[in-house]
Amino acid sequence: MQFDWMQIPYSLLTLFIVLNYGMLLNALIAKIAARVGRRHGIPIWQNYADLLKNYGIRSSITHGVMFYLGPVFRLAGGVGLLLFVPTIFGSEMFSNLSFAGDLILALYFVFFGTLGMALGAGESGHPHAAIGVSRGLSQVTTAELPFALAVFAVALQYQTLSVTDIVAAQQGGFLNWTLFTNPFAVAAAMLGFLGSMMRPPFDVVLAPQEIPIGPPTEYHSSYLALMQTNRMIFPIAKIVVYMNLFFGGAASWPVFFIKVFFIYMVSVLVGVVFPRFHVEQSVRWFLVWAVPFGIIAVLMV
């Protein structure tokens, strides 16, 4: 694959589309979750207002360089993840900066933001942030484990580390999706996915009732706005990876929108109705339920 300068504005366009989609999707998901609670929920444009409001906060305080860099790292993680995987399969415009080994980079980016966040939150000096960070790191690590195993299985299965190639291999009817060709890997990955979406039962990191609200507890104004921006992009980017690896990717924007929505809904489906685990309970849960699937998947291939 050749690098073309034109890919940069194209990928920025992707970023723009995904950001707006993320804004609306998050609001839509919130509205759906609100429906379960038998209410209407936020207006669909709420996320724009929140974001703008937080950028418009006049005062802000910092606890140090890392506190400042935390959200930047986080956002970089989200944006980076998005930019280095192809968003729309087969589209010249929206394949972004993907390259042959982008799968490894993607894995790295998934983790990258969390680390930055941990450093920044740690510097805020707030005990709740510290507790949240330690919980977060242990949980993310175990949640990544089945995902990594699944990715490993998929990479083995398709004999490539290029996301584009993996997507290409899944084209031609939905039966070619990894979902059906390697269900154990998908199961492992989806269980890991539940853990990485910060929704119950795996939201012990934020846990407003225990350590309000974990790592971002000290973040505010523009810092928070940056993190919010990331919260709009990062889940979508992550889902893009899942979609590409397991659900046949998307060949056009409408397919992309629909697939992302449904994959997102998986975590919501579970998240709305369950309470949260302890951190050690969730760690154990991943080890007991998700990791074996991953191992089986790897072994099967």
Partner 1 sequence: MAYQPDRSQYPQRRPDGTLDIDLTSGKYLKLWQGPQHPGITGNMSVELTVCGDEVVAGKTHVGYLHRGFEKLMERRTFIQCFPIVCRICVPEPDFNEYCYAAAVEELAGITSPERANWIRTLILEMGRINSYMMYLGGQAGSLGQGVIGQWTTYARDLMLDRFEELTGARIYHMFILPGGVRDGLPEGFKQRMEETLKEIESILKDVYNVMYCNAVFKKRTVGIGYIDPQLLDSYGITGPTARAAGVAKDVRRDQPYLVYDQLDFEPITGKDSDIYTRADVRRRDLLMSVDLIRQILAKMPDSGELMAKLPNVLHWQIPRGETYIRGECSRGEYGYYLVTDGSGYPRRVNVRGPSYTHAVALLERLIVNINIADVAALMVSLHTYPPEIER
Partner 2 sequence: MSVRDLLSPFSAWKNVLRDPVTIADPLNRDAAPRYRGFHQNDIAKCIGCGTCETICQNGAIDMLPVDSVATKIGDSGLRPRIDYGRCCWCALCVDICMTGSLTMSNEYKWVDPNPDNFRFTPGIDRKSWDSAELGYQRPEQHRLTETKRIAMQELEADERIDNFAEIVAGYTVAEAKLEADRCVSCGICVATCPTHMAIPEYIAAVRDGDYERGLKILYETNPFSQVCGRVCTRKCETSCASRHEGDAIAIRWLKRHITDQVPYERYREIVGDPLPPTGKKVAIIGAGPAGLTAAFDLARLGHQVTVFEAKGAGGGMTRYGIPEYRLPYEALDRDINLILSMGVEIHYNCRIGVDRTMDSLQQDHDAVVLAIGLQQGRQTRIPQSNHERVYRAVDLLHKITANEPFELPHCAVVIGGGNVAMDIARSLARMQKQQYGVVNITVTALEEQQHFMADADEIKEALEEGVLIRDRCGPQGCEVDTGGKLIGLKTWRVVSIFDEERRFAPKYDEQDEVVHACDTVIEAIGQFSDNSLLGELLTETLEWDRGRLKIDAAGRTSEPWLWSAGDCVKGPDVVSAVADGHRVAASIHQKLQEEDR
Partner 3 sequence: MKPELEKRIVKGPDGFEFEVDPIRDYFCETPPTVMTAAYSAIIEKLFNWARAESIWILGFGTGCGAIEMRPLMTPRFDAYRYGVQWRPTPRQSNLFIISGYLSVKTLKRVIRSYEQMQNPKYVVGLGSCTINGGMYWDSYNTIKRLDDYLPVDLYIAGCMPRPEALLAGIVELKKIIRAGKAEGANIYAEKFEWYKANQKRVIHDWDMPDYNW
**Residue from 86, 201, 214, 248 binding partner 1 (CB under 8 A):** 201
Contacts with partner 2 in 172-211 (CB under 8 A)?
A: none
Q: How far apart are CA 57 and CA 220, in angstroms?
A: 9
Minimum distance between the CB of residue 270 and partner 2, rounded to whole angstroms? 8
Q: How far apart are CA 298 and CA 300, in angstroms?
A: 5
Footprint of partner 3 (CB under 8 A): 34, 37-43, 45-46, 48-61, 125, 208, 212-213, 216-221, 224
Residue 277's binding partner among partner 3, partner 2, partner 1, none (Cβ under 5 to 8 angstroms by kind) is: partner 1
Contacts of 251 (CB under 8 A, 6+ apart): 88, 89, 90, 91, 171
For residues 210 to 249, the per-residue mask of contacts with partner 2, x marking binding by CB under 8 A and - elsewhere, is ----------------------------------------
**Backbone phi, psi, residue 110, to 5°:** -55, -40
57 binds partner 2 (CB under 8 A): no
Q: How many residues does the chain have?
A: 301
Nearer to partner 2, 72 or 272 (CB): 272
Contact 161, 155 (CB under 8 A): yes
Q: How far is CA 83 from CA 65, 76, 97, 205, in A?
A: 26, 10, 6, 27
Q: How far apart are CA 232 and CA 194, in angstroms?
A: 17
Residue 49's binding partner among partner 3, partner 1, partner 2, none (Cβ under 5 to 8 angstroms by kind) is: partner 3
**Residue from 2, 5, 37, 58 binding partner 2 (CB under 8 A):** 37
102-123 and 65-83 helices, crossing angle to 10°: 160
Residue 269's binding partner among partner 2, partner 3, partner 1, none (Cβ under 5 to 8 angstroms by kind) is: partner 2
Please classify residue 285 by burial: count the beta carbons closer than 10 Å to its beta carbon, then call 0-12 exposed, 13-18 middle and 19+ buried: buried
Residue 281's binding partner among partner 1, partner 2, partner 3, none (Cβ under 5 to 8 angstroms by kind) is: partner 1
**Residue from 121, 131, 241, 298 binding partner 1 (CB under 8 A):** 131
269 binds partner 2 (CB under 8 A): yes
Q: How far apart are CA 301 and CA 289, in angstroms?
A: 19
Minimum distance between the CB of residue 276 and partner 1, rounded to whole angstroms? 4
Minimum distance between the CB of residue 179 and partner 2, rounded to whole angstroms? 21
First to last CA, the chain: 27
Nearer to partner 2, 111 or 274 (CB): 274
Minimum distance between the CB of residue 230 and partner 1, rounded to whole angstroms? 22
Q: How far is CA 62 from CA 66, 68, 70, 123, 224, in A?
A: 9, 7, 11, 10, 12
Residue 53's binding partner among partner 2, partner 1, partner 3, none (Cβ under 5 to 8 angstroms by kind) is: partner 3
What does the block give as tokens for 116? 């930055």
Contact 80, 37 (CB under 8 A): no
Residue 2's binding partner among partner 3, partner 1, partner 2, none (Cβ under 5 to 8 angstroms by kind) is: none
273 binds partner 2 (CB under 8 A): yes
Please give the residue ranges that form the binding site for partner 1 (CB under 8 A).
33, 36-39, 127-128, 131, 200-201, 203-204, 207-212, 272-281
